[in-house]
Amino acid sequence: MNRELTVIVPVYNGERDLQKCLDSLFAVTLPVRIMVVDDGSTDGTIAILKKANEEHAELSWFSKANEGIASARNYAVDRVETEYFTFLDADDTVEPEVYEKLLKKMKEEGSDIGFSDFLWVYEDGSTRPASDTGYTNKHELLEKMFATLWNKIYRTEWFRKTEIRFPDGLKYEDASLLYRLVLYMDHISYLPEVSVNYLQRSGSITHTFDIHINDMIRVFEGIKEYYQEKGQYEEYRDEIEYLFIRFFLGNSYLRAVRIEDKKLKEETLHRGYDFLTTHYPDYRKNPYLKKPGKKNLYFRHLSRPLYFLNAQIFPLLYKIGVMK
Of 190, 104, 94, nearest to 146 by C-alpha is 190
**Cα distance between residue 142 and residue 224, in whole Å:** 12
Q: Please list the pLDDT of the chain residue by residue as tens digits (324 residues).
A: 689 999 999 999 999 999 999 999 999 999 999 999 999 999 999 999 999 999 999 999 999 999 999 999 999 999 999 999 999 999 999 999 999 999 999 999 999 999 999 999 988 889 999 999 999 999 999 999 999 999 999 999 999 999 999 999 998 999 999 999 999 999 999 999 999 999 987 644 344 445 576 788 899 999 999 999 999 999 999 999 999 999 999 887 887 887 877 888 888 888 889 999 999 999 999 999 999 999 999 999 999 998 888 888 887 766 666 566
The answer to pTM > 0.85 is: yes
**Cα distance between residue 209 and residue 203, in whole Å:** 9
Query: 9 and 37 in contact (C-beta within 8 Å)?
Result: yes
**Cα distance between residue 260 and residue 255, in whole Å:** 11
CA 74 to chain centroid, in Å, comes to 15
The domains of the chain, with CATH numbers, are 5-200 (3.90.550.10), 211-319 (no CATH)
